[in-house]
Structures are given as C-alpha cells and as structure tokens.
Amino acid sequence: MTFQKDVSVIIAAWRAQDYIQNAIESALSQEGVEIEVIVVDDASPDRTSEVARACGEGDDRLQVIKMPQNGGPSKARNQGISVAQGRYIAVLDADDTFLPGRLALLVKAADDEKADIIVDNIVRVDGQGQSIEAGPFLTQPEFSKRHVISLEHYIRCNMIMSDAPALGYLKPLFSSAFLQAHHLSYDESLRNSEDYYLVADILAKGGKMTFEPIAKYAYRVEAGSISHRLNTQLTERLVDAAVRFDRRHGDAMSAAEKDAARLHRERLENTHVFQQIVEYLKAKRLLGVLAVMAQRPRALSFVFGQFFKIAKEKLHKLK
C-alpha cells in the first residue's frame, strides 16, 4: 500500500481518562514528521473515549476507536495497526508520553539505517511525571552509541525476574511494510510482554533492529515490583508464548539463538513454578507447595534464590 504518513502512533487505552490527555498531546506536538494518532479504547468503563476525542477537537490527525468489548492491549493495538497509514508504527502506552523531537529523530535514524525496528532509551518517571533516576534506564556503555541489536542479544536481555535491565521495556517503531510483508501482528493471547514477542518475531524473520542513543520516551512506573504483579495465569501464558515462538522459528534459528531461546523459556518455566509456590503459600496449602516442587525439582534453585532475594530486600528496608 502507499503510506500517507511518516508515523502512526497507536495508543491502546483502558480506564485511562486521568492521564490519556498527556499521552495524546505529547504525540500530536511532535514536529518534523507527518503523523496520525490512533487511540483504541479497549471498552473502558470510564470516560477514556470522551477525554481522548476532546483532546483532538479540530485536529484531523486524531482518530478514536472504541472496541465493543475488552480484548486486551494486543487486540487493541492490532485494531489500530489495521487502519494505520504510517510508514512506521509507534507504540505509546496510554500513561506514558513522548518527549519533544522523538519521532523525527527515530524516523531519520530508521531511514538512514534501513531498520525494520528502531528503539531509543527511556526515562522512567513517577505518577507526577518526575524522573525517578538521574539518567536514562539503560546505562551500559553500548547504549551510548547507535548499534544493531541481534535476535540472540535481544532474547538474552529479556530474562524475567532478572536484575539486568530488559530491552523489552523499550518502545519500538515498527516498519509497516515489514509487518505487512510477513503477516505479523501482536499475539492477542498476551496481556504482558506483547511487544517482546512481536519484536522477536520480526528479528527471527530477518528484520533489522537498531538502537538510537537518545532517551525521549517517558515511561511511567507504578508502585510495586513485577513479582507483586505476577500471577499463575500470566506466567502460564508467557511459558506458552515462549513454546510457540520456538515452534515458529526453531528450525531457522542459529545454535546461539536456540540456546538463548531455551534459557528464556526455562526461566519463564521456573518463574511459573515460583509463582505457583507463592500462591500456595499465601493460601496456606502446603501440600500444593510440595506437589509443585516434586513436579519440577530443577526449578528449586531458582525458587530459593528468589525467596532469598526477597528476604534480603526486606531486611535492607528494616535497617
């Protein structure tokens, strides 16, 4: 198809009436690129759609779609992508914002590098939009310069419940032409890690991913660590997603990529065991704990390590 815009910004929103205005305004105020903003309200019970429409009053670059029923962020994003007219698809969470100049810089870098995915660093902010760290999220020397991110490296930098910063937190721009040519879309069974699997699918299909050393995405951090937000339904879905990824791409991956994918899957499986044990302990069901431990003894080292880390953090807070 002939693309009419440089970038289509897709905002999947649910119960976002209190902060979606900031997200929309940060996208519409981007300069140096032709954009459209597509808000997909995922059947919110609040005034998300009304607030979103009011933000773009008189601005034909804004389109608001309301889903008939809640389907999760992946389905909402796929709906937005299906009507997008931009050469690039930019992901913007409803509670996050773009900093000035982001899209123009990333589009230029993607065009220069002929990248199918372009990402930058992020700045983590609190609920009031104030930075919670002195600098950007990724501080390793490699992120001070433009470079290509391979599939193997991307997988290895996305290990759940790891102390290392995860590349999966970065918010990509995707090449619309690449998505269409390879019939790729978000996995609608996922409500977490959906960006990770779409990026990994693109890389496994031979796409090129480039990191641009700017930090112009403001990522809002909610209170609580990921371990407080996990549940066994989520971890089970993530394990299933990893298994399906291996089935889709295993035959075409290199030995190093297969090893990275195996480690990624095993860590998800161990996390699923850990979460099962946590929930059984909360319910005071000791037999359930013992049954899970007997079924997957290889996970016990990881499980005990996680409990030790939690205990260490609590002791540190008491000092």
pLDDT in tens, 74-102: 999 999 999 999 999 999 999 999 999 99
Phi, psi for 146 (deg, rounded to 5)? -70, 135
| Helices within 84-219 (DSSP H only) | 102-113, 151-156, 176-181, 194-204
Average pLDDT along the chain, 319 residues, taken 10 residues at a time: 90 96 97 98 96 90 97 96 97 97 98 98 91 92 96 94 83 97 95 93 98 97 59 94 96 97 96 96 96 95 92 80
Instruction: Report the predicted TM-score, pTM, of the whole model to 2 decimal places.
Output: 0.92
Q: What is 47-111 written as a DSSP string?
A: SHHHHHHHHTTT-TTEEEEE-SS---HHHHHHHHHHH--EEEEEE--TT-EEPTTHHHHHHHHHH
pLDDT digits (tens, 9 = 90+) for 107-118: 999 999 999 999
Find the angle CA(31)-CA(202)-CA(97) to the nearest 5 degrees: 30
pLDDT digits (tens, 9 = 90+) for 246-293: 999 999 999 999 999 999 999 999 999 999 999 999 999 999 999 999
Phi, psi for 192 (deg, rounded to 5)? -155, 145
The CA–CA distances, whole Å, from 218 to 61, 95, 314 equal 22, 9, 29
